Structure 1
Amino acid sequence: MLNLRLAFTLSLFAPAIALVLALLSRHPLFSPTEGHSASRAKDSKPATTSAMSSSIRRTAPLVLPAVGKHTATVFFAHGLGDTGAGWADAVEHWRRRRRLDEIKFVLPNAPVMPITVNNGVSMPAWFDLSLQARALDEDVAGILASRTYFHSLIQDEISAGIPADRIVLGGFSQGGAASILAGLTAPVKIAGIVALSSWLLLSQSFKDHVPEGDYNKATPIFMAHGDQDQLVRYELAKASAEALKSMGYDVTLKTYPGMEHSACVEELDEVEAFLKEKLTSKGNESI
């Protein structure tokens, strides 16, 4: 069995994460008339979001250089309470067959911030989580600040000589949710999006955040979820995938029977196959 540091991280933060993420069963995708995200999104000022993003103290990402000639890059964002290093073992798993040697992996670190629904206790997070009335009150400013940061990482890679269509953006849980939003609203066409145990952010106002040109309308999205996930409920993943499909996006949702809020070898193997297909020169070969 794969020995991921992720398992230890989830165990360490399980009580806080359970308190925070179980509330996602009240996400606006399930009760759209009660959601607060649409009004908050419309009230958000781009300048405020930009200022917030630039003022956040961030730790540099963990960079795992390409084994061979660097021709592509994968950004993979961790979940609530974790760090980029928590996914280093997964990267080694993806590389073990030497079929992703041309890919550099970048594992960003979320800033540490107080989590409102967890009584203000601070932990690494891509955005705050709170609850108002009966619907999740999305932290629009925080979500958009993370989106701005992810877009800056993509732009830095482009400036370093890697074409946008050789970049995949992905993540787990909160990191995957932020990656869906950042990827689909990026001002350039990227190669793909990976979202493990994740959901759609800003669902009621999503179209308002898509740039003119909708560059990633045809970008493939690989979603994967355990049907026994009690933190980010499987029903939320299904609703998110259906919402994206209804907007015309190319979404695949893989279901893993019996899996909880974690990763498994079968799932990671399918991510490897996705990355190989989208980013390597031998992507059409069987994995």
Structure 2
Amino acid sequence: MFSDTIETIPPSVKHSTTIVFFHGLGESGKMWTSTLAKLRKPHTKIVCPSADKISMTMYKGFATKSWFDMTALKEMGENESSFLQAVDLVHVLLDKELSSSCISSKKVLIGGFSQGGALAVYAALTYHKPLAGILMLSSWIPLHIKFPNAATNNTDIPILQCHGTNDSVLDFQYGRRTSEVMKSFVTKHEFIIYQGLNHCTNKEELEDIKTFINKVLP
């Protein structure tokens, strides 16, 4: 599920904060490093892991870069066993990153796009240390029927969820439903809707992401 490839961009001044970001289905970490580099401040390190190619049930066994197996790209489309294995690996990655950098976990923002966002939010809400914030782009809350009981930590940190109304890959309804579920048990959740936006980002969304990053990683 996790390849050995981790794209990183070091800070240009003394390291004090970190963004760990997970790409979407079929993408790679490299696809997001340059985008995030334009949104961060000089003290922030960027960490973008890449997923291995795995056989996907939703593609009738065809292999693609994916964090976990799915029957469909939507809520409750996750293979629970495969998904929870991926969550465990995220926790290991966070532990290693914190150990090697010696910065506080409260200075780490975790996020992702689409499938990567689903992985990030679940991993954050079940991680044993407090984080700075959660960023979900065109995504959903996985295994949502397990919440709020599954959330063992980080329910009181800032969470930004972004979704376009014209998303042709992950229907906007899943984003709206995720927002409703999240607001039932977290305290600092913001859901921003982008009219006409497909399964991608635009200038307006990137500006909102930048504002969020600067707020949670000052």
What's the TM-score once normalised by structure 1's chain length? 0.71
**Whose Rg is larger?**
1
- Determine the structure 2 residue equivalent to 1:148: 88
Q: CA RMSD in A?
A: 1.6
Matches within 5 A, 1:181-192: 181-192=122-133
Deviation, structure 1 residue 250: 2.2
1:269 pairs with 181, 186, 207, which one? Answer: 207
Using the alignment, how far apart are the partners of 1:279 and 1:137 within structure 2? 33
- Mapped contact 2:33–2:46 kept (Cα < 8 A): no
The number of residues matched between the two structures is 215
1:139 matched residue in structure 2: 79
Larger helix proportion of the pair: 1
Q: List runs of 5+ in structure 1 lacking aligned partners.
A: 1-55, 281-287
Indicate which of 12, 17, 30 corresponds to 1:67: 12
Aligned partner of 2:195 in structure 1 is 257
Distance in structure 1 (CA, Å) of the matches to 2:111 and 2:77: 24
Q: Which runs of 5+ in 2 are unaligned?
A: none
Q: CA deviation at 1:136?
A: 4.4
Tell me the alpha carbon deviations over residues 241-276 of structure 1, each in whole angstroms, 9 at most, x when there is no partner: 110111234210111111100011111111111111
Q: 1:132-281 to 2 correspondence within 5 Å?
A: 136-160=76-100, 161-211=102-152, 215-280=153-218
- Give the structure 2 partner of residue 80 of structure 1: 25
- Give the strand-richer structure, 1 or 2: 2
List aligned pairs for 1:110-129, cutoff 5 A. 110-129=51-70
* Residue type of the alignment partner of 2:215: E
**Matched letter for residue 138 of structure 1:** E
- What code does the residue aligned with 1:125 have? S
Code of the residue aligned with 2:61 in structure 1: it is G
Are the aligned partners of 2:3 and 2:50 in contact in 1 as well (CA < 8 Å)? yes
Match of 2:38? 93
Distance 1:66 1:145 in 2: 30
| Identical-pair percentage | 30
Following TM superposition, where does structure 1 have runs of at least 4 consecutive aligned residues deviating by more than 4 angstroms? none
* Matched residue type, 2:5: A
* Alignment match, 2:46: 105
SS in 1 for 2:122: helix
Q: Secondary structure at the match of 2:50?
A: coil
